[in-house]
Amino acid sequence: MKNIINTTDIRTVDIINNDHYQATPGKFRFITKCRAGYFTCNDARDFDDARLYANPASVMSAYKKGALQAVEYKPTGSDNFFTVFAKKGNKVIIMDEAIMRGLDVGCINQLWFNTNLMDMNQYKAVNSKTWASMAFVMNEAPEAQAHNVYNVAS
C-alpha cells in the first residue's frame, strides 16, 4: 500500500480500508446539491457499491462539477454511515485515505479546480507531471519509469 503525502489542510480518515476484511462491500451514500439548490441524499445501487469499493476514488467523478457535497460509507455489519468525504463551500475538509490513494490530477483539474484539492504545492510534493499522475501518492520520475521498462524488457 502506498503512503499518502498530504501537504494540504484536508483531514484524513481511514474507514473504507478498515472494511477490507469483509467478504462483501459496504454501502455508499452521496449527498448532492441539485439544480434547484437544495440538498438530496442518494444511496448507491448494489452493483455500484462493489465498483466504488474496488475503486474508491471514482466517487469523486460520480457527479457533475459542484454537485457532490459529501460521501458516506456504511461498513458491512454496521448500522451507521461514516463520512468519508465532505466539503464546506469550496473547501474540502475531510477525505478517506482510500479515495486519496486513487485520485489523479486529471479528476481534480477537471471537476475540483475551484477547491483546495487543486494545489500546485501538493502536485510538486508527489512529483506530478501530467493529468494521469496521482495527486496524493508519490509518482516515479520519468527517468525511473524508463529505467524500469528497460530492465523488464531485457
Does the pLDDT at position 67 exceed 70? yes
| Tens-digit pLDDT profile for residues 98-110 | 999 999 999 999 9
Quick one: average pLDDT of 65-85? 94
Please write down the HEC assignment for all residues of the chain: CCCECCCCCCEEECCCHHHCCCCCCCEEEEEEECCCCCEEEEECCHHHHHHHHHCHHHHHHCCCCCCEEEEEEECCCCCCCEEEEEEECCEEEEEEHHHHHHCEHHHHHHHCCCCCCCCHHHHHHCCCCCCCCECCECCCCHHHHHHHHHHHHC
pTM of the model: 0.84
| Tens-digit pLDDT profile for residues 99-145 | 999 999 999 999 999 999 999 999 999 999 999 999 999 998 766 55
Query: Of how many residues is the chain composed?
Result: 154
**Residues pairing with 128 in the sheet:** none
Q: Which residue has the higher pLDDT, 102 or 24?
A: 102
Quick one: average pLDDT of 39-59? 93
Does the pLDDT at position 154 exceed 50? no
Residue 89 CA to chain centroid, in angstroms? 18
- What the block records as the C-alpha cell of 119 is 494545489
Quote the pLDDT of residue 117: 93
Tell the residue number behind the cell numbers 504545492, with chain if given: 121
Map out the domains of the chain as residue ranges. 11-153
Does the pLDDT at position 148 exceed 80? no
Question: Dihedral of CA 43/44/49/54: which sign?
Answer: negative
